[in-house]
Structure 1
Amino acid sequence: MAVLKVIEVLANSEQSWEDATKKAVAHAAKSVKHIKSVYVQDQSASVDDGEITDFRVNVKITFEVK
């Protein structure tokens, strides 16, 4: 039987939501081992003068506890 844990991570990127998600996983992987999945819960963006300046994601990262 596997024991899984879920953490919530917020991340941002000037490029895209996909890049923000990759940054969230990469940052979590520095201290969390055995990451199994990532679920994008929310997406948002900052806008300035009619242009998107910042993409933001709220993700849930699932990892196995060994």
Structure 2
Amino acid sequence: MPNRIYKKIEITGTSTISIEEAVESAIKQASQSIRGLAWFEVTETRGNIIDGKVDNWQVTVKIGFSLD
């Protein structure tokens, strides 16, 4: 079996519901145009506050995928 070569991209997903949903949103969007997604790592988590409550989650993820 040949050695695999991977590439990483960095994107930010958003959600008004949860951190997990923001991650899933980013991965879902990436999977529509990139094949071979293999793993992700959360590199940054932040959000917006409105009237003392979390309004929006923003999660930056690095997504790794194998090259053909």
Counterpart AA for 2:63? I
Count of residue pairs the alignment pairs up:
66
Any gaps of 5 or more consecutive residues in structure 2? none
Any gaps of 5 or more consecutive residues in structure 1? none
User: Aligned-pair RMSD on alpha carbons?
Assistant: 0.5
Runs of 4+ that moved beyond 6 A? none
- TM superposition score normalised by structure 1: 0.98
- Larger Rg: 1 or 2? 2
Q: How does 1:1-66 map to 2 (within 5 A)?
A: 1-66=3-68
Q: How many angstroms does 1:30 deviate by?
A: 0.4
After superposition, the C-alpha distances for 1:5-52 in whole angstroms (9 at most, x for unaligned) are 000001100000100000000000000001000100000010011010
- Within 1, Cα distance between the matches of 2:18 and 2:58? 8
Percent identical pairs in the alignment equals 27
Counterpart AA for 1:38? F
